[in-house]
Structure 1
Amino acid sequence: MACQSVAAVMDEQALLGLNPNADAPYRQRAMAYFEQLKESPDAWEVCAKALSQGDDHVKFFCFQVLEHQIKFHAVLNAAQQQLVRETLMKWLQCQQLMNAQPEKAFIRNKAAQVFALTFVCEYLTLWPKFFFDILSMVGLNPNGVDVYLRTLMAIDAEVVDRDILHSAEDTRRNTLIKDTMREQCIPSLVESWFQILQTYQRSHPELTCQCLEVVGAYVSWIDLNLIANDFVNLLLAQMSMEELREEACDCLFEIVNKGMDPVDKTKLVESLCQALHAAGFFSVEREEDVDFLAKFSRLVNGMGQSLVLSWTKLVKAGSAKEAGATLQALETKVPLLLQLLVHEDDDISANIVGFCYDYLHVLKQQAIMLAVIKKLTYDDEYNFENEQGEDEAMFVEYRKQLKMLLDRLAQVSPELLLEAVLRVFSNTMNWQTASFMEVEVAIRLLFMLGEALPASHGAHFSGDTMKTSTLQEMMRTQLVSCGVSSYQHSSVSLEFFETVVRYDKFFMVEPQHIPGVLMAFLDHRGLRNNSPKVRSRVAYLFSRFIKTLKHMNSFVEDILTRIQDLLALAPLENGFAPLLTSDDQLFMFEAAGVLIVNGESPVERKQALMRSLLTPLMDAFQLLLAKLLQETEEERQAALADALSHAVGFASRTSKAFSNKQTVKQCGCTEVYRDCLHCFLPALSCPVQRGALRSSVRSFLHRMIICLEEEVLPFVPAASEHMLKDCEAKDLQEFIPLISQITAKFKQQIFMPLVLAIFEVMARPAEDNDQTAALERQMLRRSYFSFIQTMTGSGMNEVMANQGAENIERILFTIIQGAVDLPDPVAQKTCFIILSKLVELWGKDGLPGFSDFTYKHIVPACFLAPLKPTFDLSDAQTCLTLSECALTLKTIYLKQGAEFLQFLQTEYLPSLQVTPQIAQELCQVLQQPDLKVLKNYIK
């Protein structure tokens, strides 16, 4: 009942305590009354009614009670909510009538807070027409406009202000309010601001300044297109009005600071700068108003920092062209930056420091990039004809260091490097008037980007289109299409072709450029260049280009026709130096093979093209071999053998286009390669220049085993016979890998002839002091043991097992000998690996008689080898041998079990005078599951 009686009428006595001059008891009574009204569910209604009466302190008191009620008693019934709305609008209406004496500022501020709180509570549900109601009420009445603007600022504090911490729920509500405002009323609000700014800019500057503050507060989250050119022009005009200029400057600062797309931000800042410059604001020295200049300095700082941020974003996005434009805009602001920085007033200078710092950071990055780029450039004295000179070699080395620095810079900021290269490239690609040093370094930088930038930055022309577009643009317009391939300097020519091949994937994206680049490869710019160095490198690059862009169907035959003369064997007599060396020709033959195989011609056509490629080689080979057999002069013999080897090598290289037998068959090329085998194999029997000829034919056989598979088998017996006839250790050692390949693929019975040939060579007496022969023999032994290891380790032990008891025993004894008697730890280790594997495969009756051999020879080998005086445990290889030796013992135990332990304890170890205690110890260690224990024990 007490509360209800309080609600009926205002307590006049208590209200006396609101006067600042009231005595303490009155003030205390007023405070108690305030608390009473706050706690009452409906007593505040009397305050609502009293808003339009009484003095300022009573009105403020009433607004405070109302504020508390809205804030802390959110559950008002519909009638009470309606009362709040009506009370506020009634009070606002009263403001319209108070032209002579508006309310005090502190009351208007409190009223604005109450309006804002009501808005936050009711806008989304009960009062969607909040702004329209207020705007229709206030019109252009100055008092009403004042409250409207204060209310907007209070709403900004409640809903937007980032300095105020909000709960997650409030944040969600605030986001929803802003979204709804954008949808429903922001255009109307913006229009009202424009009218206020226009209407009151001369008559009520204080209202105009308030409105400018509102625009500055709201611009961060509304559509900037609404603050269109008219608006900005109005602000620029107000920059010249003494009472408005500082607030207009602040408002422009907020517009510039708005988050937006970097390209749009650059355009906005640039248009603003042009307008400010045209209006004379850049003439800082003429301006006497230091307070305004401090604001202007802050605005310039905001514009500068916005440009730096835009540049950074564009660089990160790989938009080098746009980043370049932004950087240019940034650089044009530097004179103004310096004028403000050196101003005698510290506030003006301090306000520009942020921009200065950011710009220095950009400059530092740019400076390092440009310094590296400058140092990459050749100087006039570089001798391209003799690059082995000391100065030249030092520069090449220095360039490598610079490249590493560029790679590091790219890790820090890949986009910045992209943008820097684009600038250099764009400035240089008017190549007709540029020096070769400038053109070369520009293309070199484009080339370097491929390694410096990770693939995701477009090095492979896939992925993020923004990042790839810059590289693609440089390739298209500034390398491939601009004619720079015709620049007549070897360094530029080389760099052009290197870069084309580095970015070969570009041509998959834009295949229309392939014909133009192919012509550059094939004519005087590439393979027929005046410089032998260029021709040689281009031959290799051409082969890579063809291999990457395999499908060049429409160009295949045209290319083959154009390179025909480059595929001819160099004549021995005429004295003219051919365009390409034999090594370069290898790449040309490989490219030709790839073109034929990957073209879309019918099988018959592919077959014909491959035959026309290989027949001249076979014809030349037969003629040259006949000459070699008749030639007596050693120098001429060597030249002929060289030419023969090249012919075989070229034929071999064409087969690189095939991945397996299937592809050879599909292209109808089996027959022509078999013809090559028929043609080349007789060279193996040539009594002169055997080393070179055998080596080339052997390589060809390796390729044919891959390409023809079992089609090669008929040629193997003859080839083996030729290879094993009158063999030296070195010949055999080189022949073993081929035999391993054949055996692995076909399990062919050519195993024993090779082994017997090795035994024969090993049995020959050697001269004591012939170091070369001794080394060759050691290498042959190692190759032989590796061969046996391959046989046992890759499932081909049956090839050995099928050689008959006598042959198997001979082989096994060579392995025992290698394990025990040879002072070569590499060979010993291999032998123990073989013995361990054979025990695993053939032990416990896997091969008749092998268990007996194990006890008689393998077990003793495991003990005798480490007892040799040459067994040096300080040598790492010897330690590995000991490990394999221990593993062999362990494998015997795992295979033979308790029988082996009994053999050791009762027969073998006693024969070595080993005590029963040690014998028992060893047997216990052998039974431990951890092999390390045995290895350590043996050691």
Structure 2
Amino acid sequence: MNASQYLDTLTSQTPVYVLNTFCLLVALIIKYTYPNHWPDAFTYLKTLITSPSPSTSPSASTPDAAPDATPDAGIREDIYCRILSMLVHELCDYDNSSRSDESLSRDENVKDRMRGIGEESNPRTTDVEDVLEGLVGIVERNWGGGNGRENKAMETVGMYINWVDINLVMSPKCLNCIFSSLRSPSNLPLNLSASSCILEIVNKGMTAPAKLTVLEGLNLIQVFEEVVKGNRDVELSSRISAISASVTIQLIGMAETEEGAGAGKMINGWMEWMFRCFLHDEVKVSWEVLGVISRWTMCLGKQVGKSKDATVVFWAEDYLATILSCVFRQMQYPRNYDFNQKDGQELVSVFEKEGLDVEEEEDDEEVYRQEVRKLYAKIVRWQPDQAVQMIGATLGRLPGRLSESDFEVAEAALRLVFHFQEGLSSKMAKMIGNGGTFDQIVTALFESDIGFHSNHELLVLYLDIAVRYGKVLIAMKDESKKCVLIGRVYECIGRGIAGGRRRIRSRCCYLLLRFVKTMKGGGGNGIICSALSMVQEIINTNAAADYSLLGLDDHNYLFESAGLLLCSSPETAVSGLSTFTVPQLSKIREIIHAANLAFNPQQKAVLASMLMANIAHLSKGYSKGDLTEATSAIFLEALQVAIESLHALPAFENIRSKVMMLVHRMVTILGDAVLPCVSSLLEPLVRNCEDDVTQVVQLMNLLLIKFGKKLEAGIDGVVLPFLRHCVELTPQEGAADQMNVEKVSIMKLQVLFLQHVVSNDCVGVLFSGQNIAGLVDVMRLMLAGLHVKEAARSTIVFFSKISSSGVADNYQDYWRFVFGDVLMSLWQLMTDKTRFNVRDAVCAKTVGESANLMFMLRERRKEDWCLFVGCLGASMGKDMSCLLLEEGGVGALKKNVMSVLQA
């Protein structure tokens, strides 16, 4: 059975996959046989839609029957479109990276012959013209039929536009069909397919003069005017907006070139139409033209400092006022926008699971406005003075009492102020705070009642402005006025925390910390005391509500703010500290000494850890130089309570984590006063750490670096327990690769800790009565580092430090290990030319450290050194052995070692 006979068996009831398989087969046959073996392939295809099928012949239907009267009517038109669309995919949309040059050349030859290129024929009567004519005919015959074939045909037309002669597409018949399809009522799929065709036309590559001719011939603005009057569908409007953006961007680009001078005649009309799209109520429509504004800002930047003259076709600054007005309008949220939807994306309360990841999915309205604000910042970069004028004029149009203004307008106006700095260069940003026009605008905002607007979203934005432009307040010369305005900001923060939704409360807590840091204690004692009272009241209110009003981070922000405020005034640094710490410490003691501690310990651990974190953040305002005897006593008490909680609830990682956080802070501000607590602190940490073992090692290393030899007594009892606990943490079951990774990771922590012990003059703890029994195991662990290229030097330094310290002089087991194992392993490493290259920089440094170790051992243990060299003599020869025995300094020994290795 041939293809034509098989075609007659296909009906509208035939499964789609069968239709697709048949059409793909025909498309591939055309691809590989046209034009050499099947020159009339497209003539054959044309018969599909011009010759009647058996199901539509006069004998099969009545003379008066409509084209769709039989169930198989139109199946050939459907197949025709499917074949042509699949042919395009095969010729144009295939992945070229995996195809041979021969295959690509064949495809180009097929397209060229379809277009009449390479043969003596009129390109107006080519096969591709017949294809377009056939597709246009299908659209016209199925107009309003609702069977979808007109849409399929129009989609297929769009596939051919990109590579056929533009004159074929611009023919009256084809163009009228596309525009009629665009205007077609109640047929959105056809409208969208037609819009895709128009987008293909305007994006088609051609010279600037040719493109201008095409755009003039299309007269799209008039067409779009007609379409949007009769069809307000958002999807179609979005497509029209995308087409408009593409045309406008191309016109702007052409206006910057000499051959595109004619673009000036069209660009004004398209910019006006673009403004209409930009101001569309639907975000999806407006979004499409943001690229035009971005392209316009590029022109604006290029033209800064230049003078407008007659040769300039497109002068960007002519549209500045209009675009700024549009940007302000589009910054405004719609009246029905629900800010409350963000309340589900808040910080968790202290009793909810710690570490809970909450993904913030911003809606289109919010993301769109973020993009508009970015465009505004670009405009500010090039025209800051005009932006300031617009800000002033916009705020001047608001009511005298800003708290009574419409939220949407007021919010957008404040956005102009807030995002202004984002567009400034670093040099221009330094001008803020110098008393200029913008400073005056910011000052007027601080003096207004905008912070008392009924919408708390506006309150948060006002506080954002206060934080960003706090230097305007700091620069005020009128101290009385400055104190009033700073106090007003604190009052607004308290109002937001006390009366807002949780997201608002959380944001205000964060902005409180930011504002305190910005002010750096400014405002005077009265303002500071007032702010501290406000913070204390918020903390007490939250505690009375069982800590349910604020999230974990909110507490940290409040206490860190309190610490900074306390330290900003000598009067409050001491007297106010106990006001904040005593309730926290009392609550921790109440938790850990409660009779029912075993009941729901997880919840108690979460609360206790939060209270400890509060004190840690409170201490950030203090430094060692700020402490008095009274404040030191308070922080020491906090450290003792934290250790008590660690002993009471050692199994909970959040307790261990927050205790370590507090210890880090106490080490910084208390110094040596921490030493008596170290032993009782480290013992439960070392015994119970699991996934937090890295943090425990970091803490011990910090203590070693900070205190050095003074830490020996405190760390003596945890060295071996820690090393043994690390062995217990090594996984015993699981995939071999994963187990090896875990094993290496834990071994690195052990080695790092031991290196810090030795490097910070605590060698003695390795030889103490508690640890001497495990010394050999420690040395074997460190010796393993020699086999890692990057760790070899550190391992050598480890043994050098111990050997030179004098602590090991009376321990013969140590020296036997050093000469019998360490030096032998080291020598084997350096003489293994498959792993060690003395010309490599890392290896050369290893040789240098090895020479230092050898020199020290030679000087301290000459007899043992000679025995070691004698053992090597059999393998290196007498002359080489003599080099290692020669007298001299460390430099001479290093030179001799290098000579031996190179030999």
TM-score by length of 2: 0.52
Task: Write the mapping of 1:765-844 to structure 2, written as runs, cut at 5 A.
Answer: 768-769=732-733, 778-793=744-759, 795-796=760-761, 803=768, 806=772, 809-810=775-776, 813-820=779-786, 829-830=790-791, 832-836=793-797, 838-839=799-800, 842=803
Q: Kindly state the Cα deviation for residue 593 of structure 1 after the two structures are TM-superposed.
A: 2.0
1:789–1:830: 8 Å Cα contact kept in structure 2? no
1:756 CA drift (Å)? 0.6
Task: Kindly report which structure 2 residues correspond to 1:618-657, keeping only aligned pairs within 5 A, or say none.
Answer: 618-627=585-594, 630-633=596-599, 636-657=600-621
Assess, with a 3 A threshold, how the Cα gap between structure 1 residues 529 and 460 changes in structure 2: closer, same or farther. Answer: farther
Equivalent in the alignment of 2:626: 663
Show the 5 A alignment for 1:176-325: none
Q: Deviations over 1:628-648 (max 9, x none)?
A: x52444xx3211111111111
Q: Which whole-Å deviations, capped at 9, do the CAs of 1:705-748 have from their partners, x for residues lacking one?
A: 11211222222222233334x43454654322222222222231
Partner residue of 2:516? 546
Find the counterpart in structure 2 of residue 564 from structure 1.
536
Q: CA deviation at 1:896?
A: 3.8
Q: Return the alpha-carbon distance in structure 1 between the equivalents of residues 763 and 583 of structure 2.
A: 44
SS of 2:454's equivalent in the other structure is: coil
> What is the Cα deviation at residue 663 of structure 1?
0.6
Q: Alpha carbons of 1:788 and 1:424: their partners in 2 closer, same or farther (altered >3 Å)?
A: farther
Q: Distance in 2 between matches of 1:692 and 1:585?
A: 16
Aligned to 2:711: 748
Name 1:518's counterpart in structure 2.
Answer: 487
Tell me the SS of whatever aligns to 2:609.
Answer: helix
2:698 is the alignment partner of 1:737 = yes
Asked if 1:694 is matched to 2:656, the reply is yes
Cα shift at 1:886: 4.8
| Cα pair 1:589 1:650 within 8 Å, conserved | yes
Find the aligned partners of 2:442 and 2:750 in 1 and give their Cα distance: 54
1:759 partnered with 2:723: yes
Q: Does 2:430 match 1:469?
A: no
Which residue of the other structure, out of 441, 454, 457, is the alignment partner of 2:428? 457
Residues 624 and 640 of structure 1 are in contact (CA less than 8 Å); yes or no, is this contact kept in structure 2? yes
Q: Is the 8 A contact 1:649 1:696 kept in 2?
A: yes
Q: Separation in 2 of the partners of 1:736 and 1:681?
A: 17
CA distance in 1, matches of 2:805, 2:828: 23
Which one of 656, 659, 669 corresponds to residue 707 of structure 1? 669
Superposition deviation, residue 562 in structure 1: 2.9
Post-superposition offset of 1:838: 4.7
8 Å Cα contact 2:720/2:774 also seen in 1:
no
Give deviations 1:521-575, integer Å, cap 9, x for gaps.
4457422233221111111111221233214311233333333332138559x7x
SS of the equivalent of 2:576 reads helix
Deviation at 1:491, TM superposition (A): 2.8
Give me the whole-angstrom Cα distance separating, in 2, the residues matched to 1:734 and 1:815: 21
Letter in 2 for 1:654: L
Go from structure 1 to structure 2 and tell me whether the alpha carbon gap of 1:665 and 1:914 turns closer, same or farther (over 3 Å shift). same
1:458 Cα deviation from its structure 2 partner: 5.0
| Aligned with 2:647 (options 682, 685, 689) | 685
Residue 650 of structure 1 and its aligned partner are, at CA, apart by 1.2
- Contact kept in structure 2, 1:844 and 1:895, CA below 8 Å: no
Secondary structure at the aligned position of 1:722 is classed as helix
Specify the code of the residue in structure 2 equivalent to 1:626. H
Q: Quick one: which of 453, 463, 467 aligns to 1:497?
A: 463
Whole-Å separation in 2 of the counterparts to 1:748 and 1:362: 70
The offset of 1:904, in angstroms, is 13
1:855-913, Cα deviation, whole Å (9 max, x unpaired): 53334444667999xx999xxxx999x9655522232235546999x9899767677x7
Equivalent pair of 1:593/1:655 in contact (CA under 8 Å): yes
Q: Structure 2: how far apart are the matches of 1:917 and 1:437?
A: 92
C-alpha RMSD of matched pairs (Å): 4.9
Q: Partner letter of residue 688 of structure 2? A: C
Q: 1:409 to 1:598 in 2, by over 3 A?
A: same
Distance 2:692 2:740 in 1: 14
The whole-number CA distance in structure 2 between the counterparts of 1:744 and 1:765 is 26
Pairing 1:405-444 to 2, within 5 Å after superposition: 405-428=375-398, 431=402, 434-444=405-415
1:504–1:548: 8 Å Cα contact kept in structure 2?
Answer: yes
Unaligned runs of 5+ in 2: 1-306, 346-358, 859-864
Q: Secondary structure at the match of 1:819?
A: helix
The answer to whether residue 342 in structure 2 is matched with residue 378 in structure 1 is no
Q: Quick one: structure 1 residues 515 and 582, their matched pair in 2 at CA, closer, same or farther if it must change by over 3 Å?
A: farther
What residue identity is the alignment partner of 1:890? G
Matches within 5 A, 1:609-620: 609-620=576-587
1:769 partner SS: coil
Contact 2:786 2:792 (8 Å CA) reproduced: no
**When the two structures are aligned, how many residues end up with a matched partner?**
555
| 8 Å CA contact 2:560, 2:618 repeated in 1 | yes
Distance 1:516 1:762, change over 3 A: closer
The one-letter amino acid paired with 2:534 is R
Q: Which runs of 5+ in 1 are unaligned?
A: 1-351
Greater Cα offset, 742-751 or 512-521: 512-521
SS for the counterpart of 2:602 is: helix
Distance change >3 Å, CA 802–CA 854, structure 1 → 2: closer
Q: Whose Rg is larger?
A: 1
**Equivalent residues in 2 for 1:853-868, closer than 5 Å:** 855-862=819-826
**Superimposed CA distance per residue, residues 820-851 of structure 1 (whole angstroms, 9 cap, x where no aligned partner):** 57xxx6xx734642424653785699975888
Letter paired with 1:888:
T
Give the Cα–Cα distance (whole angstroms) in 1 for the partners of residues 426 and 731 of structure 2. Answer: 60
Paired residue secondary structure (2:623):
coil
CA offsets 1:407-465 (integer angstroms, 9 cap, x no match): 44444444444444444444457545654232222222222223332454355745xx4
Asked if the contact 1:641/1:689 (under 8 Å) is kept, the reply is no
Q: Deviations over 1:227-275 (max 9, x none)?
A: xxxxxxxxxxxxxxxxxxxxxxxxxxxxxxxxxxxxxxxxxxxxxxxxx
In structure 2, relative to structure 1, the CA distance for the partners of 1:492 and 1:788 (3 Å cut) is same
For residue 586 of structure 1, the aligned residue among 556, 577, 597 is: 556
- In structure 2, the partner of 1:68 is none
Which residue of 472, 489, 511 corresponds with 1:506?
472
Q: Per the alignment, do residues 896 and 760 of structure 1 end up closer, same or farther by CA in structure 2, a change over 3 Å counting?
A: closer
Gap change, CA 1:461 and 1:922, over 3 Å in 2 = farther
Q: CA deviation at 1:673?
A: 1.7
After TM superposition, give the deviation of residue 783 of structure 1 in Å. Answer: 2.3
**Residues 820 and 864 in structure 1, CA contact (< 8 A), matched pair in contact too:** no
Counterpart selection for 1:481 from 447, 465, 472: 447
| 1:497-520 deviation line (CA, Å, top 9, x unaligned) | 111011112221235244345345
User: Would you say the 8 A contact 1:819–1:861 is kept in 2?
Assistant: no
Distance 1:778 1:905, change over 3 A: closer
CA distance in 2, matches of 1:625, 1:600: 34
In 2, distance between residues paired with 1:899 and 1:796?
A: 19
CA distance in 2, matches of 1:783, 1:653: 28
Flag the 1:917–1:714 CA change in 2: closer, same or farther, 3 A. closer
The 1:895/1:626 distance shift into structure 2, 3 A limit, reads closer
Q: What amino acid is aligned across from residue 651 of structure 1 in structure 2?
A: I
